[in-house]
Amino acid sequence: MGSWIIVGLGNPGSQYEGTRHNVGFWLLDQLARDLGVNFTVQNRYHGELVQCSLDGHKVYLLKPLTFMNRSGQSVALLANFFKIPLENILVIHDELDLAPGTVKLKRDGGHGGHNGLRDIIAQTGGKQFLRCRLGIGHPGHSKLVSDYVLSKPSPTDRQQIEQAIDNVLRILPEVLSGNMDKAMNWLHSQ
């Protein structure tokens, strides 16, 4: 069993807490609470980090503090230092093209216009990492996207996103064990 990095994408600072763009942070915060561990700021990796065990796997939970567009800097530093291959990195991020509460898992692929993913691909030199796409919905027009992702969801949307996070936490052991098909089938049936 190799080590893993689970990265939650978001923006640091209290003004971004609870915003749609920070759903990756939401998931990692919930996972840390469930595991009884606490993040500490690690300047060396430009992020908040905690090492823990999840279903027998050594896992680094990482919240980059470099802002979304520079997330790759933090991910690359951590992966290079601990020699963790791209295949053992799971990136949790918001997804405009999915309705709130929808979750999709995938391996490889492009950035799909997501600046956090774009920078991770650029900084690590590859696309072979896993992605967990948490749906946040779309505002309806591309000119509205920036304000939309940096605002808080409605109570109904938030509840759906939180349910999706619970679903992801339920299948994480399967993902880390290499049972992606089983995890995806269960997730996509919810």
For 82-96, write each residue's pLDDT tens digit.
999 999 999 999 999
Reported as a pLDDT band with limits 50, 70 and 90, residue 187 is confident
- 21 an active-site residue? yes
115 assigned ligand-binding residue: yes
At 4, list the tokens.
């893993």
pLDDT at residue 1 in the model: 63
Nearest to 116 by CA among 23, 40, 38, 189: 23
In the predicted model, what is the mean pLDDT of residues 55-74?
95
Whether residue 26 is predicted with pLDDT greater than 90 in this model: the reply is yes
- Identify which has the larger pLDDT, 113 or 166: 166
How far is it, in rounded angstroms, from Cα 91 to Cα 84? 14
pLDDT at residue 22 in the model: 96
Structural domain count of the chain = 1
**Full-prediction pTM beyond 0.85?**
yes
Here the CATH number for the domain that contains residue 119 is 3.40.50.1470
Nearest to 140 by CA among 94, 96, 93, 95: 96
Domain that holds residue 44: 3-189
Reported as a pLDDT band with limits 50, 70 and 90, residue 115 is confident
pLDDT at residue 180 in the model: 87
In the predicted model, what is the mean pLDDT of residues 107-129?
87
Nearest to 48 by CA among 76, 78, 80: 78
Q: Which entry of 21, 46, 93, 114 is annotated as an active-site residue?
A: 21
In the predicted model, what is the mean pLDDT of residues 64-84?
95
CA atoms within 13 A on the CB side of 66: 25
pLDDT at residue 61 in the model: 98
Whether residue 128 is predicted with pLDDT greater than 80 in this model: the reply is yes
